Structure 1
Amino acid sequence: MMPHPSDMPRGGVVFLFPGQGISPCGALASLYDDDLGVPPAARKEADRILDEVDEVASTQGYGPVRDVLLADRRPQDAPPLPYGTSQLAHFAASVATAHALAAMGITPDLIVGHSLGEFSAFVTAGAFTVAEGAHLVCALNDAYRPVIGEGAMVLILGEAGGTQAMLADLGREDLAIACVNSPKETIVSGPPAAIAALRTLGDTRRLFELDVPYAAHHPSLQDIHGRFLDNAKGLRQRPLSVAVHSPVQRRPCSDADDFLLALADLITKPVYFAETVSRLAPVDQRLFIELGAGDTLSRSVRATLRGARTVVPLAPVKKR
């Protein structure tokens, strides 16, 4: 559902950029649905972003994302996307939707990115161009190549304290809390053997493995952290045009920060999304708009802030 400018509270529009974990296939389909009346200017902006991302992807050895984002929703038994395509597609979907909304007169007063979503956040806030942001996602993909398949991430339906106690009982120091999404959702990261051990201890009905090919937000990934910074050398940040709150840095960002270092920290540090969102009350002065595939962050916001208003522009529309 595309929001309307007349519905925007003054000074209270929060853009939420999700990370990875679900398939991006078909994420932009609703934006290009002729029956939904999306203005041509909005689609033109989205087209421009997709062209820019695909141009960078081709030079960096990655496949195009346009067909992925405009395809039908991917069935669960479909083969996985080529490595790196999903990450670029998530980035492109978020940034394209932000530009489409801007063409409709809807801009953020504040931006919060979750994990990979911080790449989209810094681009939308003007710190990097779209092409530079795509280069940075490719740099992240390249940095993680040595550890593909050596780790996994699991969403647990439970609060962080209980999850931490469960990890302590298990006695696996190679498991780490990667994200605290809400009082009801926590994500754990670690090697496959440790994740398998976690499944034997916890209620498997409350554990869901995410579509991520490595163990992100894990303190053991210092080499990947350094490799990303090496890959990103040469890019220069610009002043922020919109406030960005980082759930990893646990504070608002400023132009004095090293944004490349902040992005590298996504590799080794946890995401405190619920904590960040809780600081954005009172909810009657905010409208949270999630720009990406799925509604994960919107659900987390509502679970954290009672009565919060959320909008998901890319949500699939059920037709009669």
Structure 2
Amino acid sequence: MVDSVFVMPGTVAAPRGGILRDLHNRYETVREALSRIDKAARDMGLPNISTRLIEHNGTSDRRGPEVQYLEIFAVSIATHHMLIAEGAEPVAIVGQSIGELWALAAAGHVSVEDAARLAVARSEVLTRQSWNGKMLAVGVDGRRAESLAGLMDHPDLVLACENAPRQSVISGPRQLIEHVERVADSLGWPSLPLDVPHPTHTPAMARAARDLRATAPRVPYGSGRWRVCSPWLGRDVGDDDPVDLVAGALTSRVRMLHTIRQLHAAGADAFVECGEWAVVTKFVEASIPGVRCVVPLSESDPVEVVRALVAESAEAAGGAPFRPRPSAPPSNGRGPVVRVTLPAPAGPVEPAPSAAPSAPSTPSAPSASSAPSAVATVAPAVTSSASDGLEYETVLAELQTLYGDFLGYPPDLLGEDDGLESELGVESLKQVVLLGRVSDQFDLPELRSNSSLLSVGTLRRIAESVVAGRAEAAGR
């Protein structure tokens, strides 16, 4: 038997338009859940949540944080219902930050409507507090991140999240976080500010927590169907008041790394992300190398991926050995990645270690996902004319030197088509730092926000983007 854990992301980017179209058409349970979220939203004076998610509309209309949270919830609960409809059964459900609320709803401890109302109440108290804070992902372990935060000696500047062995999140006042970022850079520690509507997991949120306990609608707690593990409580959720759970998390540290390892030690073989991108599962991969991770919505056929997992579970239950596979590559930010067959390499490809942006979740940094050894991820190509060939070679050589100096590799060992994360082991936060240096070196500020260069992760793609960017800047 393959024991699967369903994981629910916290604060991630707004989902793509149309992401739930197929699930909405296929499953009555998905349609019902989305209808219930829509009704709750309308009762609170918000627009329908599902409309954008089931139509082919690729942009978010940015209707505020409440809508963003409910859209994330809708994607998580719809994915959960698809998994259950196809026969997948979790041994536990885990949520990160506000994702714990999605987990409670998925497990049946609270109703979908109550979860939606509580998510909106949480957002409203955070908006009322209007704290000038910030969160920063740092590519080091929790102990060093905590020491870094401690240098400033401020009660509200704390280690907020322990996501993976080498990814932590610090939360605190904006001005102090900017100091922390500069110190991290001087130490050579990669870091990335997180774009979240409400920085949390710091004692600074005590007022918002009190406000939530005083004003949020009471939520009845029922007996759920599945076990829910809480990374901030450090235990399973029992007969806990849902409002207290959500309020308590606002000021508490999220220990996702520890929860993941405890579940794996207890027998969990696979982790399935109920979201659009690999966010929490990137932490899983970094924490437990070789573990099976599945992100159905990042695949071209999510249902087939889930059916394959269920079939493997049945096969394992019949006595055949379980054969883990690498996790699915995520969306590149412009739609699902394209999967193409390539000749298998001579040796095995190690699974890569996280955000984004994922980032992203409790927020996580954006990250490139590892690809199976016979599968490559392909983003829309940047074409160059023959006349750009010499410039491409010059740019590539400069990139090989820049990346080689940073990583300690001889430049000639950095192949233009080598996967930066999957083959060279360059962590996602380091890729963010390096892309920033490329942006500065070639005076192309737009490269910093080009997430496809992180999800594709090769020097060829970066060099092509530099050549195209310089040509555009020159007016050619």
TM-score (norm 1): 0.85
Cα RMSD between the aligned structures?
2.4
Counterpart in 2 of 1:272? 255
Query: Could you tell me how far apart the structure 2 residues matched to 1:81 and 1:131 are?
Result: 20
Assess if the C-alpha contact under 8 Å between 2:5 and 2:268 holds in 1.
no
Assess if the C-alpha contact under 8 Å between 2:8 and 2:96 holds in 1.
yes
Asked if residue 115 in structure 1 is aligned to residue 97 in structure 2, the reply is yes
Query: Could you tell me how far apart the structure 1 residues matched to 2:128 and 2:206 are?
Result: 13
Assess if the C-alpha contact under 8 Å between 1:218 and 1:270 holds in 2.
yes
Query: Could you tell me how far apart the structure 2 residues matched to 1:235 and 1:306 are?
Result: 39
Query: Could you tell me how far apart the structure 2 residues matched to 1:103 and 1:226 are?
Result: 39
Counterpart in 2 of 1:308? 291
**Cα 1:190/1:63, change in 2 over 3 Å:** farther
Give the gaps of 5 or more residues in structure 2.
299-330, 340-476
Assess if the C-alpha contact under 8 Å between 2:102 and 2:115 holds in 1.
yes
Query: Could you tell me how far apart the structure 2 residues matched to 1:178 and 1:72 are?
Result: 35
1:179-218 residue pairs with structure 2 within 5 A?
Answer: 179-203=161-185, 206-218=190-202
Assess if the C-alpha contact under 8 Å between 2:160 and 2:253 holds in 1.
yes
Counterpart in 2 of 1:259? 242
Asked if residue 222 in structure 1 is aligned to residue 206 in structure 2, the reply is yes
Query: Could you tell me how far apart the structure 2 residues matched to 1:190 and 1:302 are?
Result: 28
Cα deviation 1:176-213 (Å, max 9, x = unaligned): 11111111111111121122222222229822222312
Assess if the C-alpha contact under 8 Å between 1:283 and 1:309 holds in 2.
no
Counterpart in 1 of 2:9? 18
Assess if the C-alpha contact under 8 Å between 1:113 and 1:246 holds in 2.
yes
Among candidates 275, 288, 296, match of residue 292 of structure 1: 275
Among candidates 234, 238, 250, match of residue 250 of structure 1: 234
Asked if residue 143 in structure 1 is aligned to residue 143 in structure 2, the reply is no
Query: Could you tell me how far apart the structure 2 residues matched to 1:116 and 1:271 are?
Result: 11
Assess if the C-alpha contact under 8 Å between 2:66 and 2:120 holds in 1.
yes
Assess if the C-alpha contact under 8 Å between 2:274 and 2:295 holds in 1.
yes
Cα deviation 1:90-148 (Å, max 9, x = unaligned): 11111111112212222322111100100111011111111111111111112112233
* Letter of the 2:16 counterpart: G
Give the gaps of 5 or more residues in structure 1.
1-8
Query: Could you tell me how far apart the structure 1 residues matched to 2:69 and 2:148 are?
Result: 30
1:178 partner SS? strand
**Cα 1:248/1:197, change in 2 over 3 Å:** same
Query: Could you tell me how far apart the structure 2 residues matched to 1:200 and 1:224 are?
Result: 29
1:91-170 residue pairs with structure 2 within 5 A?
Answer: 91-148=73-130, 150-170=132-152
Counterpart in 2 of 1:3? none
* Letter of the 1:32 counterpart: R
Number of equivalenced pairs: 300
TM-score (norm 2): 0.59
Over alpha carbons, which structure has the higher Rg? 2
1:279 partner SS? helix
Counterpart in 2 of 1:4? none
TM-aligned CA deviation for residue 46 of structure 1: 2.2
Assess if the C-alpha contact under 8 Å between 2:4 and 2:90 holds in 1.
yes
Counterpart in 2 of 1:32? 21
- Which stretch has the larger CA shift, 112-121 or 307-316? 307-316
Query: Could you tell me how far apart the structure 1 residues matched to 2:17 and 2:254 are?
Result: 23
Identity of aligned residues (%): 26
Query: Could you tell me how far apart the structure 1 residues matched to 2:25 and 2:38 are?
Result: 21
Counterpart in 1 of 2:153? 171
Assess if the C-alpha contact under 8 Å between 1:155 and 1:210 holds in 2.
yes
Assess if the C-alpha contact under 8 Å between 1:150 and 1:214 holds in 2.
no
Query: Could you tell me how far apart the structure 2 residues matched to 1:87 and 1:210 are?
Result: 16
Counterpart in 1 of 2:69? 87
Query: Could you tell me how far apart the structure 2 residues matched to 1:286 and 1:144 are?
Result: 37
- Which stretch has the larger CA shift, 81-90 or 202-211? 202-211
**Cα 1:209/1:79, change in 2 over 3 Å:** farther
Counterpart in 1 of 2:337? 318
1:109 partner SS? strand
Asked if residue 66 in structure 1 is aligned to residue 55 in structure 2, the reply is no
Counterpart in 1 of 2:375? none
Asked if residue 281 in structure 1 is aligned to residue 271 in structure 2, the reply is no
2:200 partner SS? coil
Assess if the C-alpha contact under 8 Å between 1:283 and 1:307 holds in 2.
no
Assess if the C-alpha contact under 8 Å between 1:26 and 1:72 holds in 2.
yes
